Amino acid sequence: MSLRNTQTRFGLITKSLHWIIAIGLWALFFFGKYISNLELGPDNFHLIPRHKAFGILMLGLITIRILWRTTNPPPTALPAKPFEHLIAKLVHVALYILMLATPLFGWIGASATGFSIPFFGLFDIPLIWGEDEAVADLLLSLHGYSAMAMMALALLHIAAALYRHFIKRDETLRRMIR
Amino acid sequence: MRFLFSLFFVIIASAATAAPIKYDVNKDTSDVGFIYTFGGKDIKGAFNDFDIDVAIDFKSLKNSTVSVSLKTQTASGGFIFGTQAMRSKKILSAKAFPEITFLSKSVTGRGDTAQILGDITVRGITKPLTLTAQLFRPKGSDINERDNLIMKITGTLDRFDFGANGYAKEVAPDLKINIEAFIKKQ
C-alpha cells in the first residue's frame, strides 16, 4: 500500500490521519460533555487539563492533515450528481474549518482563564491570551457550540458515506478503509 | 508538642509586666494557612510570604496589637490549579492587590482565648473581622516562658464580601483562617 494518495486510492498516511482524528474527535467530544456535566472537585479536576492536552494533540494532527492534503491531493471523486458533489465539498470545507476552530477557541478560552495548560505533564503549552474572564466565557462557549456543529457535520459525513456504501454501492467508503 | 499557655494564666503570672512586649515572627517555622472547600472537600492553602507584628501586654490585654500582611502573589491553593485560581483576577487578583492586611483595633480576653477585633483588607475592600487567638509555650519550656511563644489565630471570612467571588459553583464562600505563628521576643 502506498503512503501517498494516488488518483484512485487514498494512501496510508491519509487513511491513518482520517481514522485517528475521527476517533479522537468523537472521544474528545464525549469527554468534554462528560466534564461539563461534572460537579468539579479535587478528585476529578485533573480531567480538564487532560481534555486540553488531547485537544492540543488533535490540533497538531489536524494541522498535519491539512498540510498533507495540500501537498498530496485526494483521489478523484467518484461519480455523483452535481448537487451531491457540492454538498460533499461544502461539508468537507466546513469540517476542516471547525476542526481548526474548535480547538483554537478552546485554546484561547483556556488561556484567558489564566490556568496553565500542561501537556501530559511534559511541558506547559503557551498561553495565547491574557487572563480575561469575558474572553474566557465567550470563547469557551464558542468552543462548545463549535464542537456540537462539528459533530453534527461529522454525522452528516458518516450518513453520506453509508448512503454511498449501502445504497449507491460505490467505492467511497471502501477507499478509506482498504 | 507544646502546652496550652492560657492567656488567663499569663495575665495572672505576669502581673509585673508593664508594657506590651514586641515579638518577631519566625517565618521559616510559622504557617499562615487557610482551609477552603472545593467540590465538597476541604483543601489546605497557605501564604508563603507574610509579615506579622505582635505586641502583647500580659497585664492589660487591651493594649496588645496584632498586624498581619500577606503577600497575595505567594498564595498557594494546595495544588497547582488551586494556586493559579487563588491568584487570579477571579479570587485574590494578586497583581492588582499584592497584599491582604489585618490591623487589630481591640483585643479582649476570655478564658484561655483572646478575641482580636480588627479590619481586614482584601482586594482593596476593608471589613471588620474578629479572630480568635491562643498562646502556647514550647514543650519543655519554663511555665513562665514568654520569650518564645506560639500564637494560634483562627477565624472565618466570607470571600464574597470582598468581591473574590470566582468559581462560586465549585468553591464555597467561607475560608477558615488558621495561622500558627512562632514568635520571639524582640
Which pLDDT score, from 0 to 100, does residue A42 have? Answer: 87
The verdict on a CB contact (< 8 Å) between B38 and A42 is yes
The verdict on a CB contact (< 8 Å) between B88 and A49 is no
Instruction: Indicate whether B15 pLDDT > 70.
Output: no
C-alpha to C-alpha distance for A158 and A140, rounded to whole angstroms: 27
Q: Measured between CA atoms, how close is A131 to chain B, in angstroms? A: 8
Q: Measured between CA atoms, how close is A42 to chain B, in angstroms? A: 7
Q: Is B158 helix (H, G, I), strand (E, B) or coil?
A: strand
Which pLDDT score, from 0 to 100, does residue B8 have? Answer: 37
Q: Are B34 and B48 in contact (CB under 8 A)?
A: no
Cβ-Cβ contacts under 8 Å for B114 (sequence gap 6 or more): B7, B61, B64, B107, B108, B132, B133, B134
Chain B, 69-128: which have a CB under 8 Å from a chain A CB? Answer: 79-81, 84-85, 88-90
Chain B residues whose CB is inside 8 A of the A136 CB are none
The verdict on a CB contact (< 8 Å) between A115 and B85 is yes
The verdict on a CB contact (< 8 Å) between A42 and B43 is yes
C-alpha to C-alpha distance for A119 and A40, rounded to whole angstroms: 20
C-alpha to C-alpha distance for A20 and A177, rounded to whole angstroms: 12
Tell me which of A157-171, B9-23, B33-47, B158-172 is least confident. Answer: B9-23
Tell me which of A107-111, B52-56, B143-147 is least confident. Answer: B143-147
Which pLDDT score, from 0 to 100, does residue B59 have? Answer: 86
Q: Are B14 and B147 in contact (CB under 8 A)?
A: no
Residue type, B2: R
Residue B144: pLDDT band by 50, 70, 90 thresholds? confident
Of B39, B84, B166, the CB nearest to A116: B84
Domain boundaries, chain A: 12-177
- Tell me the DSSP string of B77-99: -SSHHHHHHHHSTTTT-TTT--E
Q: Measured between CA atoms, how close is A113 to chain B, in angstroms? A: 8
Chains A, B: CB contacts within 8 A come to 42
Residue type, B51: D
C-alpha to C-alpha distance for B175 and B101, rounded to whole angstroms: 16
Q: Which residues are paired to B99 by β-bridges?
A: B71
- Tell me the DSSP string of B104-128: EEEEEEETTEEEEEEEEEETTEEEE
Instruction: Indicate whether B1 pLDDT > 50.
Output: no
- Chain B: residue nearest A117 by CA? B81
Which pLDDT score, from 0 to 100, does residue A175 have? Answer: 93
- CB of A130 less than 8 A from some CB of B: no
The verdict on a CB contact (< 8 Å) between A42 and B41 is yes
CB atoms within 10 A of CB A88: 18
Instruction: Give domain B2-185's CATH number out of 1.10.1740.10, 2.40.128.110, 3.40.718.10, 3.40.120.10.
Output: 2.40.128.110
> Which DSSP letter does residue A165 get?
I
Per-residue pLDDT of A103-115, as tens digits, reads: 999 999 999 999 9
Can you list the alpha helix ranges (DSSP code H) found in chain B? 7-13, 80-87
Burial call B76-112: b when 16+ CB within 10 Å, e when fewer:
bbbeebbbbbbbbbbbbbbeebebbebebeebebeee
Residue B7: pLDDT band by 50, 70, 90 thresholds? very low
One digit per residue, the tens of pLDDT, for chain A of length 178 reads 799 999 999 999 999 999 999 999 999 999 999 999 998 888 899 999 999 999 999 999 999 999 999 999 999 989 999 999 999 999 999 999 999 999 999 999 999 999 999 999 999 999 999 999 999 999 999 999 999 999 999 999 999 999 999 999 999 999 999 8
- CB of A49 less than 8 A from some CB of B: yes
The verdict on a CB contact (< 8 Å) between B39 and A45 is yes
Residue B151: pLDDT band by 50, 70, 90 thresholds? very high
CA distances from A36 to A27, A57, A114, B40 (A): 14, 20, 19, 17
Higher pLDDT, B145 or B104: B104
**Structure-block grid coordinates of residue A82:** 452535481
C-alpha to C-alpha distance for B37 and A41, rounded to whole angstroms: 9
Residue type, A106: G
* Triad B93, B95, B100: Cα angle to 5°: 65
Of A44, A114, A133, the CB nearest to B84: A114
C-alpha to C-alpha distance for A78 and A178, rounded to whole angstroms: 16
Can you list the alpha helix ranges (DSSP code H) found in chain A? 12-36, 47-71, 82-113, 133-162, 172-177
**Structure-block grid coordinates of residue B72:** 497575595
Cβ-Cβ contacts under 8 Å for A153 (sequence gap 6 or more): A91, A94, A95, A98
Q: What is the ipTM of this complex?
A: 0.73
Higher pLDDT, A151 or B111: A151
- CB of A63 less than 8 A from some CB of B: no
- The dihedral through the CA atoms of B137, B138, B139, B140 has a sign that is negative
**Residue range B8-36: average pLDDT?**
76
